[in-house]
Amino acid sequence: MKRALVSVSDKTNLVPFVQGLVDNDYEIVSTGGTKRVLDEAGVKTISVEDVTHFPEILDGRVKTLNPYVHGGLLARRELPEHMETLEKLNITPIDLVCVNLYPFKETIEQPDVKLADAIENIDIGGPSMVRSAAKNYRDVTIVVDRADYDQVLAEIKNDGDTSLATRAKLAAKAFRHTAAYDALISQYLTKQDGLEDPEKLTLTWNLKEMMRYGENSHQKAWLYEDALPKAFSVLSAKQLHGKKLSYNNIKDADEALRCIREFDEPTVVAMKHMNPCGIGRGETLEQAWDRAYEADPVSIFGGVIALNRPVDLATAEKMHKLFLEIIIAPAFADDAYALLAKKKNLRLLTVDFSKKDADVRHEVVSVMGGLLMQEQDVLDEDYHDWKCVTKTQPTEAQLKSLAFAWKAVKHAKSNAIVVANDERTLGVGEGQPNRIDSLKIAVQHAGDAIDDRAVMASDAFFPFGDCVEFAGQHGIKAVVQPGGSIRDQESIDMANKYGIAMVTTGVRHFRH
C-alpha cells in the first residue's frame, strides 16, 4: 500500500481527490483541519502524530518538521542504503504529497491587517514538505494545485502511478509555487521595513492568459497579473462586451487609465498608440466627448476611449458612429450599453474609479538583461505654487488652462508639447527627437483653434528660445514648463518679446 500525506488550506475538491487515492490503495496521513474534513466525509486517515510519534507543538507551528515525514519524502528508492535506513528507523516512504499553503496572500489583502496576523500565516512546514517532495520527484508525486487533481488520479487509476514526466512537471510547478509564496512574504516584510532598494528584488505575477500574439503577429505573448491585483487596472476591469483584448489593446488601455486618473471633472481621453490624441472636459460627459473628438477627429479612429463618468445614451450615440477599439468607464447606462453592444467587436470595460488614487505602486519596465523600477509619476501639484518668470502675469483662467495642459502633457511621449484651452487639447506633439518639431506638430494639429485662450505645456525645459518664439508667432498666450535650463533666460526674453505669460513648475514629466 502506498502512502499519501495531505494537508491543505484550500479544501476545494479535496474529498473526492483523496477518496480517489484511497480507492487506488493509498493510505492517507493528514493533519489538523484537513484531517477533520476527511474524517467527517468518512475517509479513513492516519494522524501525523501517529507517524512522527510526537505531538503538534507551539500552536501548530511544528507538526510535520520531523524525520519520520521528511525521511519518508527524501529517501531515494533506488539507493539500497537509503531504504535500509528507512527500514532500520521504521520510517514509511511517502509516495504522494498534496499540500497548499497557509493563506498569506489572502491575509495581507485584508484591510488593516495586523503584522502579527500576517506573520502567523507564513507557512513553514508546508513549503518544507513541498520542497522535499519536489526535490525527490523521481519517486514522489507533489500536488500543490487542485487543477492537477484529475490528471493525477487518472494516471494512478490507469497506470498505478503518475509518470516520471508528470512528476517532473509537478515538481517544477511546486517550486514555482513556493518561490511565489516566498516572494510575497519578502515583498510584504520589505515594505514593512520601509526599504526602497533591497539587494534582491522579489516580484511575482500569475499567468492571466496566453495572448493570441504580441505587438506583431509573429511574436508570442503572455499576460501576467500582479499576485496582489490592483483594482484600478485594465487587468482588473470587467469586460462587458467584445472580443478579447490584444497585447496592444492592453497597453493602450493602461495608458488611457493612467491619463484619465488625472482629472476629476467630467473628462474624456482618446488614446492612440499610447499617446493622447484628444482630451476634453466639460460640464457633462457628452460635452467632454464632443471636445475630445474635436481635438483630433482623424486620429481618434480606432482609438481607446476612457471616460470618468458612467456612459449615458447621448454620449453613446456619438461614440457609436465611430470605429473604436475599446471604451472604458465606471459604468454604462442600460440603453447606452444596448446601443454600443450592437458592435460585436467593440470592447466595453468597466473599472472601479473609486480606487484610482489608491494603491499606487512602483512600476517596472524591462531592458535587455534586467529591469528598471521607479515610482509612478503621480505627483500632486498645485498651480498656485508655480513661479511666474515673465513680465506678463497669467490670469486665473490661464492658470487653470495651463494646469489642464500640464496634466495632459504628462501622458504624451517625450519630447511632448500640448496646446490647449480651458476645454480641450487643441494639438498634441510627441515622440520627436527635438522639441521644436513636437511643437510644430501640435500647432499644426491645433490650426485655427488657437485663439486668445490658447496655452502651451512642455514636459521638459526649453533648451533654446526657438520654441517660445514659434509659440508666440502662432498665438500662444501662456506657457507652462519645468524650467531649469542654463538658457532659461533666452526663453524668458522671448516670452517677454511676445507678451507671453510663462510659469515654471520646477518638475518635469518625461514619459519614454
Alpha carbons 323 and 306: distance in angstroms, whole number? 15
Please name the amino acid found at residue 169.
K
Alpha carbons 386 and 450: distance in angstroms, whole number? 24
How many angstroms separate the Cα of 280 from the Cα of each of 99, 115, 186, 236, 306?
Answer: 54, 45, 43, 25, 11
List of residues 6+ apart from 157 with CB closer than 8 A = 20, 24
List of residues 6+ apart from 255 with CB closer than 8 A = 271, 274, 275, 411
Q: Which residues participate in catalysis according to the annotation?
A: 135, 273
Alpha carbons 478 and 491: distance in angstroms, whole number? 13
Strands 370-374 and 363-367: antiparallel
Nearest Cα residue to 106 out of 184, 23, 168, 15: 184
Cell numbers linked to 408: 495632459
Alpha carbons 453 and 349: distance in angstroms, whole number? 35
Q: Is 3 left (phi over 0), alpha (psi -120 to 50) or beta?
A: beta
Helix and strand numbers, DSSP H then E, in the chain: 18, 21
